[in-house]
Amino acid sequence: MAQNRKTWLLVDGHNMAFRCFYGVPQMATTDGVPVNAVCGWVRSLWKLEDTVSPDAVCVFFDAGGSAARKNILSTYKANRKAMPDDLRRQLEYMNLLSVAHGYYIVASEGIEADDLLAAFARGVKKRGEIAYIASGDKDFVQCVCECIFQMLPPAAGERGVWRILDRDGVAKKFGVFPEQIVDYLSLLGDASDNIAGVRGIGAKRAAAFLTKFGTVDSLLENIDQVSSKKIRDELLKSGELIARNRRLISLQGSMDVGLPEAKIYRSADDIFAMLEKLQLKSLLQIARRRYSGQGELFGSLQ
């Protein structure tokens, strides 16, 4: 990595929050406040910081979902369960601890955090800087390039090890390159977002098609080269579905996502106070070793 290139850590807030909530056993203070997700949140952010040593950290949260995607597909994400109350109660503490650590918080009503994060990452690319996207969401693979990397959560048996996905890593994992991911997912659909795919096309077949034809458009233009009549027929009648899926899956990177001009500071004292309030004694001990107790400039745009 070239020296003097600013490095950003961009965190998919809700993705991280859910992972921490379900990945850490239930914990609560003596007065019944749940803290398991907060515990996982702090540990994860520390691990991410230690892994990539960013100059600044931005955490992106959803604020009301995507009105644009709901207009395209009314049942978009309708299959998702409501956020558990015990997790919702912890979001405020995650936010406060993030601010205390000197992280930027980004959210916008009616715009998904994924779009805000992707737009910011592409702004980083234009400036010739480096971005690491911390999320298990495969939609972010489309952003991966020479200066944008995705950090995947630890796999089973790899506790604490975040995997960094570059362009070659994307090809190895999915069988296609980042610029083909939108077409790949448009064929497959995405059950987690309630997006139906083309019947009869699974991951291996989608990757094989894109390896051979490059794009879905080229695939459809050369449909006679598809040996299976059943699959040919499904593709021919799925043109509108594929086009719709592309619009749903493509992250909107054209927005101008700015940050506050003011410099922000890490406040060790605020971190200590919050961890003490939440009775996270082991984290408090680690925090006292990590930080000196004095405010430290962190996340400056300068």
Is 302 within the bounds of a domain?
Answer: no
Is 131 within the bounds of a domain?
Answer: yes
Q: Report the CATH number that the domain containing residue 285 is assigned in CATH.
A: 3.40.50.1010
Domain shared by 43 and 28, yes or no: yes
Any residues with CB less than 8 A from the CB of 302 and at least 6 apart, and which? 263
- What is residue 254's predicted lDDT score, i.e. its pLDDT? 67
Judged on CB neighbours under 10 Å (0-12, 13-18, 19+), 88 is middle
Domain shared by 87 and 117, yes or no: yes
User: Per mean pLDDT, which of 56-65, 221-230, 253-262 is the most reliable?
Assistant: 221-230
Domain shared by 166 and 227, yes or no: no
Residue 57 phi, psi dihedral angles, 5° rounding: -125, 135
**Pure H helices in 105-255:** 113-126, 167-174, 181-188, 203-213, 216-221, 229-236, 239-249
Across the chain, mean pLDDT equals 91
Domain shared by 51 and 151, yes or no: yes
- What is residue 260's predicted lDDT score, i.e. its pLDDT? 61
- What is residue 184's predicted lDDT score, i.e. its pLDDT? 98
Domain shared by 208 and 152, yes or no: no
CA-to-CA distance for 137 and 139, rounded, in angstroms?
5
Domain shared by 56 and 96, yes or no: yes
Q: Report the percentage of the chain scoring pLDDT > 70.
A: 92
Domain shared by 124 and 191, yes or no: no
Domain shared by 81 and 202, yes or no: no
Domain shared by 47 and 111, yes or no: yes
Domain shared by 34 and 97, yes or no: yes
Residue numbers of the domain that contains 20 = 7-170+252-297
Give 64's pLDDT tier (boundaries 50, 70, 90): confident
- Closest-CA residue to 40 (of 80, 1, 93): 93
Q: Has residue 256 got a pLDDT over 90?
A: no
Domain count, the chain: 2
Q: Report the CATH number that the domain containing residue 183 is assigned in CATH.
A: 1.10.150.20
* Residue after which a domain boundary falls, among 249, 270, 285: 249
The answer to whether 184 touches 173, Cβ cutoff 8 Å, is no
Domain shared by 182 and 131, yes or no: no
Instruction: Report in angstroms the alpha-carbon separations of 228 from 33, 40, 204, 223.
Output: 57, 48, 15, 10
- What is residue 53's predicted lDDT score, i.e. its pLDDT? 94
Average pLDDT over residues 139-162: 89
User: Per mean pLDDT, which of 62-66, 70-74, 254-258, 271-275 is the most reliable?
Assistant: 271-275
Q: Has residue 204 got a pLDDT over 70?
A: yes
Is 271 within the bounds of a domain?
Answer: yes
* Single-letter amino acid, residue 104: Y
Domain shared by 164 and 112, yes or no: yes
Is 108 within the bounds of a domain?
Answer: yes
Q: Report the percentage of the chain scoring pLDDT > 90.
A: 79
Is 2 within the bounds of a domain?
Answer: no
Give 154's pLDDT tier (boundaries 50, 70, 90): confident
Is 40 within the bounds of a domain?
Answer: yes
Is 162 within the bounds of a domain?
Answer: yes
Is 20 within the bounds of a domain?
Answer: yes
